[in-house]
Amino acid sequence: MAPDAVIVGTGPNGLTAGATLARAGLSVELYEAGATIGGGLRTESLFDSDIQHDICAAVHPMALASPFFKAFGLQERGVEMLHAPASYAHPLPGGAAGIAYHDLDATQAGLGPDGRRWRRLMRPLLQHSDGIVDLLLSDQRSLPRDPVAALLLARRVLAHGTHLASATFETEEAKALLTGVAAHAVGRLPSLTAGAVSMLLGHLAHGTGWPVPRGGSARIADALTAEITAHGGTFHTGRRISDLAELPRSRAVLLDVSPKTLVRITAGRLPTRYRRALARYTYGPGAAKADFLITEPVPWTNQAVGQATTVHLGGTQADIFRSETTTAAGVLADEPFVLVVDPVVADPERARPGKYPLWAYAHVPNGDTTDPIELITSQIERYAPGFRDTVIAQRGTSAAQYEEYNPNYVGGDIGTGAMTIRQSLLRPAPRTNPYRVPLPSVYLCSAATPPGPGVHGMSGYYAALAALHHEFGIRGRPSLGPVRDFGSTTRADMAP
């Protein structure tokens, strides 16, 4: 029988779209190019069958804060989110370090003369955290539900997303600590979008936190897959779709793909204006990743750094502004921004005696083909001398190879599109409903739509709601929480 809806791509957004449609009582079929389900949520053994490595996403501030995942109930479904004492750390040359503890008081205490400034920055955001998350993980088309949150955010973005940022803190530790979070926007610094990213992720570090799922990111994909399957959905892996004509007939098609792929698989059927807008869509710098198997915890010069799962490397604020801007201009920086994830700090069961997984990626120009192992190893060595000697096995993935692995990471851009102001608001093209592709019954649901990159599942959720409304006449939102009697979740479950 023909499915009600077909989804191409099983990243977090394809899966949240699938789960939303399945919970609305529709039959869904999902097609995935890779051998396994999950997109950016895969966890695999790479060197040793005992040790699991996250292949892409590893740390989940956004999944924990996301309205979709809150309603879905990750923890109730057995996905245990584990926190390290510190959300992230930023060592500096010479041995000093800024540490963002989960606990705001501890962070304040560690930042000396800037402690109170850090608190004044973060505490109001924490008090309005739901409003901040609502705003930044919205479809960018709705009015803010918490105007105070919007105001707090706007003031902070202007202060920290511009060159004024250099004057907001006194110490290099506090300046670098915030700049490292801004660098998650992967682009020229400072910038207003990076300022917004630093406020979202920065305050979550002291709120819901920057956790890792026990056992790896694939546990999130497993929970979504189980939900879709329990509601009758089916998966086809190893099926890269090259033309929409390859898909079975259905009432809606949702695409968890890049705009580049969208143009290709619609094979000349897109209206010229939309196709031109997609041709103008730009991709940001790439990520080049190193996976390591090491014999012992990273020997950080500043031992406090070892309390964090995420470590930002790249020197002072001025160094990072320079290296990120150089990278965005298409030049490989000598000392690029490197983000290290040590999941064992929060999830010790991922290690075995003498065997620890570790990953790190460097920001590099889009499409760069350099094997990043040496670049990343020497950057870690600067802050953890002796690290090189702990490595038993390693694997480098260049930015160009990331696109081969997952076509959504165009040129290694793990955000599926540069986070410029324009593209933060108008991804992938200026349209009233960014999820609707101007072709009958076709929707885009990847990170190339609002609210953009990260594992929050909101793009998939919003695209599914749009499809429910326009293709099936369903205006309510399906309930998403765990239910015991799966047979009872039908269209009748819909909230008004």
The least distance separating ligand FAD from the CB of residue 359, rounded to whole angstroms, comes to 7
Pick the stretch among 50-58, 174-182, 186-194, 367-375 that binds ligand FAD (CB under 6 A).
50-58
Do 243 and 265 meet the contact criterion of CB atoms below 8 Å apart?
yes
Pick the stretch among 30-38, 125-133, 349-357, 388-396 that binds ligand FAD (CB under 6 A).
30-38
CB nearest ligand FAD: which residue?
11
User: Mask 140-179, x = binds ligand FAD (CB under 6 A)?
Assistant: ----------------------------------------
For ligand FAD, the closer of residues 38 and 110 by Cβ is: 38
**By CB under 6 A, is residue 136 in contact with ligand FAD?**
no
Residues 6+ apart with CB under 8 A from 86: 99, 100, 101, 102, 304, 307, 308, 309
DSSP string for residues in 415-471: TSS---HHHHHS-SSS-SSTTB-SSTTEEE-STTSTT-SSTT-HHHHHHHHHHHHHH
Helix (H, G, I), strand (E, B) or coil at 489: coil
Please tell me the distance from the alpha carbon of residue 391 to that of residue 296, in angstroms, as a whole number.
9
For ligand FAD, the closer of residues 56 and 298 by Cβ is: 56
Amino acid in the structure at residue 75 = Q
Strands 5-8 and 252-255: parallel
Amino acid in the structure at residue 466 = A
For ligand FAD, the closer of residues 152 and 313 by Cβ is: 313
**Residue for token digits 């101007």?**
438
**By CB under 6 A, is residue 53 in contact with ligand FAD?**
no
Q: Choose which of 21, 22, 28, 58 interacts with ligand FAD (CB under 6 A).
A: 58
Buried b (16+ CB within 10 A) or exposed e, 432-466: eebbbbeeebbbbbbbbbbbbbbbbbbbbbbbbbb
Please tell me the distance from the alpha carbon of residue 118 to that of residue 108, in angstroms, as a whole number.
7
User: Mask 243-262, x = binds ligand FAD (CB under 6 A)?
Assistant: -------------xx---x-
Strands, sheet with 86-91, edge to edge from the N-terminal-most edge strand: 97-101, 86-91, 308-313, 338-341, 356-364, 286-294, 391-397
**By CB under 6 A, is residue 361 in contact with ligand FAD?**
yes
Q: Choose which of 7, 13, 298, 428 interacts with ligand FAD (CB under 6 A).
A: 13
**By CB under 6 A, is residue 57 in contact with ligand FAD?**
yes
**By CB under 6 A, is residue 406 in contact with ligand FAD?**
yes
Please tell me the distance from the alpha carbon of residue 188 to that of residue 329, in angstroms, as a whole number.
8
Please tell me the distance from the alpha carbon of residue 469 to that of residue 475, in angstroms, as a whole number.
5
**By CB under 6 A, is residue 241 in contact with ligand FAD?**
yes
Pick the stretch among 156-164, 313-321, 402-410, 473-481 that binds ligand FAD (CB under 6 A).
402-410
The least distance separating ligand FAD from the CB of residue 327, rounded to whole angstroms, comes to 16
DSSP string for residues in 337-387: -EEEE-GGGT-GGG-BTTBEEEEEEEEE-TT-----HHHHHHHHHHHSTTG
Residues 6+ apart with CB under 8 A from 37: 10, 15, 30, 221, 225, 235, 237
Residues 437-476 that bind ligand FAD (CB under 6 A): 446-447, 453-455
Pick the stretch among 58-66, 78-86, 118-126, 165-173 that binds ligand FAD (CB under 6 A).
58-66
The least distance separating ligand FAD from the CB of residue 452, rounded to whole angstroms, comes to 8
For ligand FAD, the closer of residues 117 and 240 by Cβ is: 240
For ligand FAD, the closer of residues 214 and 240 by Cβ is: 240
Q: Choose which of 204, 287, 384, 442 interacts with ligand FAD (CB under 6 A).
A: 287
For ligand FAD, the closer of residues 231 and 289 by Cβ is: 289
**Residue for token digits 């920290």?**
160
> Which residues in this chain contact ligand FAD in the complex, by CB under 6 A?
8-14, 31-34, 39-40, 56-60, 62, 240-241, 256-257, 261, 265, 287, 289, 361, 406-409, 414, 416, 446-447, 453-455
